[in-house]
Structure 1
Amino acid sequence: MAANSTNTLEQKKTYLERVKRMVVKVGSAVITGEDGLSRQVINNLSAEISRFVNQGYEVVLVSSGAIACGRKKLGFPKRSFTLTEKQALAATGQAGLIQSYEEYFNQYGQTVAQILLTRTDLEDRHRYLLARNTILKLLHWRVIPIINENDTVAVEEIQFGDNDLLAAMVTGLIGADILICLSDIDALYDKDPREDPSARPVRIVEKIDPSVEKMAGKKPGRLGRGGMVSKLRAAKMVTSLGVPMVIAPGREPMILEKIFAGEEVGTFFLPAKKISARKFWLAYHPRPEGALILDEGAVKALVEKGKSLLPAGIKEVRGTFVRGACVECLDEKGTRVAIGLTNFSSEEIQKIKGCHSSEICQKLGLGLHDEVIHRDNLVICE
């Protein structure tokens, strides 16, 4: 739901005043052009981020551009590339990308660190926390982490969407106060401006509902893998944490200063109802290893009453998994209603499904808790 009332403008101002730690994501189309990396843009971005760091802000930069940089470095014309070719281009271009950032940040007295992540790194809870601790330590040392997807080894990630999802995940990972996506498109428009010249920018979005999603169109960006659709998905993720997100023109000089000065640039997404960091990780990071089919009563207990999942409401078990695995909860039509971490293995649930609490220990011969998934380890899906 788009909005631009006095109340929403005040909310925007309040959120910006609270920011201490930010994630800035820059897309391929912003920092690369026909001649490869745009050194002027990287210089401007480095100078601007350095000014914010010197003012006491903590900044993490999520940067695309390795594949585009590698293509130019090797002298390949613009064309479609196979997955293996993209991975090789990323490997060739990543070194030049980080070298350029290091060169320009050094001019402004800032030290940078390179971090390459894949979706798998953030799916495993232990590795997730290790990544979090590393980034927070770098920020404590006043080092600017520069994060990119490890495209050379990431199969699915290389097709996912121009680092928008990664930037959203990093926002949750480090507990950032805002995500700023710098794009070649200067804002969310009520229509696709590439197709309709009458399209007008939407400055504040109060809630991402179907009417807002319809504005996104389906075309990807000029060089990146994502488009406005992936940015809206990132915005839904970030705002669910109680964190605002901004889409803004990445090539516009002093863009970060303009955002924090409250100027009418880009699109500001107001936060939604906040979920915990643990539930955010559960909702967006691990991939389900199996599924539980629930009866109507169990679905109602989970969705409407906020209850834990008990064995009595389980009709069917799909897949093979161990205790602590991430599983989907589906209704009888196969629609996902929740996702959570199970206290039982698939083999154990097969024995206790449909049973009431008094029957469980006798069937299993174990003193296990009677909740298959505790509500604290459960996220309800839209």
Structure 2
Amino acid sequence: MTRARLSSARRVVVKVGTSLLAPPQGGIHARRFFDLASEVVALMNERRQVMLVSSGAVGLGSRKLGLRKRPVAIPEKQAAAAVGQIDLCRRYERAFARHGRHVAQILLTHAGLADRERFLNVRHTLNSLLERGVVPIINENDSVSTEELRFGDNDLLSALVVNTCEAELLILLSHVDGLHDRSPDLPQAARIPEVKELSPEVMELASSDTSDLGTGGMRSKLQAARSASQFGVPTVIADGRRRQVLTRILAGEDIGTLIHAATRKLSSRKHWIAFSLKLRGTLYLDGGAVRALREKGRSLLPIGVVSARGKFGVGDLVRCVSESGEEVARGLISYDTKEVELIKGQRSSRILKLLGYTKGDEIIHRDDLVVL
């Protein structure tokens, strides 16, 4: 999708970073809530549907609790999130009320979206809200999450919401005007207007730095864009401090970095497999297996598995990598760790003899496999 075609997007996910609402230098950008609401309503008046994935609960809560930096201990993070989430939604509610619009709070966890039934329930809820002209304000449920607080961020969550609600555009707003060819703090840094493919070289340009009150750096934004891209959705990373930034992006202006959608779109279920589930292990494949997956679309057979790492059970998500460590695919495995150790490198016809039973010829069936 070219910039000129961004105007055709009717359903948009906008992620707002903590730095825009509770900047590291202190204070709260109270005015930004009203500016965002004005822009979102303007888009809605153009017959678009908009969802806000908003960080800031921990940051706002930290301000209220008098903390200068993001808490380190999990209970302190959860306390800050519990205090801040109320403030966050109240500010959005006031801002949208000026335009006669209602907001709805949606708190999600990675574990919740990993359950397919709950994933679909979230989809139905979001669709119902959007059809009624309500603006969903989505955030991770930081006050009860533990693993998500350590490793998750709302960049990834926003990409998962793209699949959940079948959006057509993802916009990631922070304090940086897109991806640069070197650290944006350097005077010679140049903005990269468009990225057609998220190659390893492009990923290397990303800094993993985060702010004192936030969790997501540029690397997490590129990972989110990669997830959206695989669902056939482009991403724009832009500076949320710009005036009318959302309107200008959808008008096709050269703002931030546009990351193109992949040419081959994953189905909703396969996208859910690849990006909504937690990885539990890694399978190392020989060259023949790599070619069979990439070039022929085959299932993964035990004969192609060289080794396995991690502790996984039947139905868990595992990575498939080449012997050099390059990720080739992800999929739901049909055998657990101990079983894979016994059958790896063997022909499928020997599974019954080696285990005393069989769950099928494939370690991962192609219907449960996503080639990346």
Match of 2:296, SS state, is: coil
2:111 is aligned with 1:120? yes
Compared CA separation, residues 263 and 314, structure 1 to 2 (3 A): closer
Q: In the alignment, what sits opposite 1:5?
A: none
Which letter maps to 1:53?
Answer: M
Instruction: Say if 2:181 and 2:205, in contact at 8 Å, map to a contact too.
Output: yes
Q: Following TM superposition, by how much is the alpha carbon of 1:45 offset from its aligned partner in structure 2, in angstroms? A: 0.5
Instruction: Say if 2:329 and 2:369, in contact at 8 Å, map to a contact too.
Output: yes
Instruction: Say if 1:66 and 1:92, in contact at 8 Å, map to a contact too.
Output: yes
Q: In the alignment, what sits opposite 1:104?
A: 95
Q: Following TM superposition, by how much is the alpha carbon of 1:84 offset from its aligned partner in structure 2, in angstroms? A: 2.2
Compared CA separation, residues 333 and 28, structure 1 to 2 (3 A): closer
Q: Following TM superposition, by how much is the alpha carbon of 1:181 offset from its aligned partner in structure 2, in angstroms? A: 0.9
Write the distance in 2 (CA, Å) between the matches of 1:190 and 1:345: 43
Deviates more, 1:289-298 or 1:272-281: 289-298
2:240 to 233, 250, 254: 250
Q: In the alignment, what sits opposite 2:62?
A: 71
Q: In the alignment, what sits opposite 1:197?
A: 187
Which letter maps to 1:39?
Answer: A
Q: Following TM superposition, by how much is the alpha carbon of 1:229 offset from its aligned partner in structure 2, in angstroms? A: 1.7
Write the distance in 2 (CA, Å) between the matches of 1:353 and 1:215: 37
Q: Following TM superposition, by how much is the alpha carbon of 1:252 offset from its aligned partner in structure 2, in angstroms? A: 2.0
2:134 is aligned with 1:146? no
Unaligned runs of 5+ in 2: none
Q: In the alignment, what sits opposite 1:287?
A: 278
Which letter maps to 1:202?
Answer: I
Compared CA separation, residues 316 and 186, structure 1 to 2 (3 A): closer
2:171 to 167, 180, 196: 180
Compared CA separation, residues 323 and 208, structure 1 to 2 (3 A): closer
Which letter maps to 1:47?
Answer: S
2:220 to 230, 248, 257: 230
Compared CA separation, residues 321 and 165, structure 1 to 2 (3 A): closer
Q: In the alignment, what sits opposite 1:313?
A: 304
Q: In the alignment, what sits opposite 1:29?
A: 19
Q: In the alignment, what sits opposite 1:13?
A: 4
Deviations 1:178-204, CA, capped at 9 Å, x for gaps: 01111111222222222x112222222
Write the distance in 2 (CA, Å) between the matches of 1:255 and 1:241: 24
Q: Following TM superposition, by how much is the alpha carbon of 1:360 offset from its aligned partner in structure 2, in angstroms? A: 5.3
Deviations 1:73-93, CA, capped at 9 Å, x for gaps: 123334754332122111111
Q: In the alignment, what sits opposite 1:216?
A: 206
Write the distance in 1 (CA, Å) between the matches of 2:310 and 2:31: 52
Instruction: Say if 2:208 and 2:220, in contact at 8 Å, map to a contact too.
Output: no
TM-score (norm 2): 0.88
Deviates more, 1:341-350 or 1:132-141: 341-350
Match of 1:192, SS state, is: coil
TM-score (norm 1): 0.86
Compared CA separation, residues 111 and 216, structure 1 to 2 (3 A): same
Q: In the alignment, what sits opposite 2:159?
A: 168
Alignment of 1:334-353 (within 5 A): 336-344=327-335
2:48 to 45, 50, 57: 57
Q: Following TM superposition, by how much is the alpha carbon of 1:137 offset from its aligned partner in structure 2, in angstroms? A: 2.0
Instruction: Say if 1:36 and 1:68, in contact at 8 Å, map to a contact too.
Output: no
Deviations 1:195-244, CA, capped at 9 Å, x for gaps: x1122222222222344334323432464222222212212221222211
Write the distance in 2 (CA, Å) between the matches of 1:197 and 1:149: 35
Q: Following TM superposition, by how much is the alpha carbon of 1:63 offset from its aligned partner in structure 2, in angstroms? A: 0.3
Unaligned runs of 5+ in 1: 1-9
Write the distance in 1 (CA, Å) between the matches of 2:179 and 2:341: 48
Deviates more, 1:337-346 or 1:108-117: 337-346
Write the distance in 2 (CA, Å) between the matches of 1:44 and 1:255: 10
Compared CA separation, residues 332 and 43, structure 1 to 2 (3 A): closer
Which letter maps to 2:165?
Answer: I
Compared CA separation, residues 374 and 73, structure 1 to 2 (3 A): same
Instruction: Say if 1:161 and 1:224, in contact at 8 Å, map to a contact too.
Output: no
Deviations 1:134-180, CA, capped at 9 Å, x for gaps: 22222122221111111122223223465111111111221110011
Compared CA separation, residues 307 and 186, structure 1 to 2 (3 A): same
2:250 is aligned with 1:260? yes
Deviations 1:328-371, CA, capped at 9 Å, x for gaps: 33555676543212344556656755554555567777785433
Which letter maps to 2:289?
Answer: A
Match of 1:146, SS state, is: strand
Deviations 1:46-92, CA, capped at 9 Å, x for gaps: 11111212321111100011111112212333475433212211111
Match of 1:37, SS state, is: coil
Which letter maps to 1:373?
Answer: I
Residues paired across the two proteins, number: 370
Q: Following TM superposition, by how much is the alpha carbon of 1:102 offset from its aligned partner in structure 2, in angstroms? A: 0.9
Compared CA separation, residues 145 and 358, structure 1 to 2 (3 A): same
Which letter maps to 2:240?
Answer: G
Q: In the alignment, what sits opposite 1:4?
A: none
Which letter maps to 2:249?
Answer: I
Write the distance in 2 (CA, Å) between the matches of 1:77 and 1:293: 45
